[in-house]
């Protein structure tokens, strides 16, 4: 019998934090240039699942991931991976830190290392990924990259400063997207998005109160523009429990008539601390 290898898509080239998250899963890992391309590859059946970032403990949610889940694809969240993020300053092996006049990195990494960068008094340039930043400085003695330890190894660079992020407890949450979500494990969470039928006082409180009535813990709540009109929002919530639990089914049945729409992104095992 032929061995079936799971194909796993991930966002970004080798040397990124997303690749590091994807490598926690066994299978053939295939990189894609954008988060949208990862979604399309999963939707088209080119791969069995994909790994994309959804939120960072410092910078907040990744909007494009939430938008694609909500508006563009009928895919499910099958799992989550919570990864500690350690940013490092990489330079050419023949350079010294005092030679640096320009720092390259992804916009998120630059934001997360703002205080360190301000103390260096250098020019900052945003690029598509932390891995790309490390590639750009290979032959530049006056440039540095904020990137991963793996990117340093891949490109033959040296690390001159470690853990340079402003906040040491820096975590990024990645999700595993697939055509189906996860079976019940007894330690699950569910993610949904909903829109209120009308903008009225107490409307959101009424929906959230249903979860309180059933003693269900909400682990996340946030809003984003609906993209329909100014001042109209949709709401994302994560809560403990699996969508197939009878209590969770009851909650969904109660809130469905009270909202314009509700979409269940999926149920999956909880990882780490919320």
Nearest to 274 by CA among 214, 213, 220, 215: 220
Centre a 10 Å sphere on the Cβ of residue 150 and count the other Cβ atoms it contains.
18
Q: Is 133 helix (H, G, I), strand (E, B) or coil?
A: helix
Catalytic residue among 10, 174, 235, 265: 174
What is the C-alpha separation between 19 and 144, in angstroms, rounded? Answer: 21
**Token representation of residue 170:** 């820096």
Catalytic residue among 32, 172, 190, 236: 172
What is the C-alpha separation between 79 and 41, in angstroms, rounded? Answer: 17
Is 172 catalytic? The answer is yes
Is residue 188 within 8 Å of residue 240, measured between CB atoms?
yes
Burial string for 56-69 (b: 16+ CB within 10 Å, else e) reads bebeebbebbbbbb
Burial string for 155-194 (b: 16+ CB within 10 Å, else e) reads bebeeebeebbeeeebebbbbbbbeebbeeeeebbbbbbb
Is 235 catalytic? The answer is no
Is residue 1 within 8 Å of residue 141, measured between CB atoms?
no
Q: Which residues, 6 or more positions from 217, have their beta carbon under 8 angstroms from its beta carbon?
A: 211, 239, 240
Q: Which residues lie across from 82 on neighbouring strands?
A: 173
Which residues carry out catalysis? Answer: 172, 174
């Amino acid at each position: 019998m032929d061995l079936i290898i799971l194909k796993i898509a991930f966002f970004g080239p080798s040397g990124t934090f997303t690749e590091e998250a994807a490598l926690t899963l066994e299978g053939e890992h295939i990189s894609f240039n954008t988060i949208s391309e990862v979604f399309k590859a999963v939707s088209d059946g080119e791969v069995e699942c994909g790994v994309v970032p959804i939120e960072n403990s410092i910078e907040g949610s990744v909007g494009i991931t939430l938008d694609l889940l909500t508006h563009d694809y009928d895919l499910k969240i099958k799992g989550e991976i919570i990864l500690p993020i350690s940013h490092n300053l990489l330079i050419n092996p023949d350079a010294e830190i005092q030679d640096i006049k320009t720092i390259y990195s992804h916009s998120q990494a630059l934001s997360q290392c703002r205080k360190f960068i301000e103390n260096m008094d250098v020019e900052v340039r945003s690029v598509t990924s932390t891995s790309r930043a490390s590639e750009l400085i290979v032959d530049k003695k006056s440039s540095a990259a904020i990137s991963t330890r793996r990117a340093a190894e891949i490109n033959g660079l040296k690390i001159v400063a470690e853990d340079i992020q402003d906040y040491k407890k820096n975590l990024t949450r990645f999700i595993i997207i697939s055509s189906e979500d996860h079976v019940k494990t007894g330690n699950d969470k569910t993610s949904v998005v909903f829109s209120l039928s009308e903008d009225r006082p107490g409307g959101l409180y009424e929906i959230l109160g249903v979860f309180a009535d059933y003693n269900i813990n909400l682990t996340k709540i946030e809003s984003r523009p609906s993209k329909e009109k100014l001042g109209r929002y949709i709401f994302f919530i994560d809560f403990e429990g699996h969508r197939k639990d009878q209590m969770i089914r009851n909650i969904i049945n109660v809130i469905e008539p009270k909202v314009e729409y509700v979409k269940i992104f999926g149920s999956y095992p909880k990882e780490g601390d919320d």
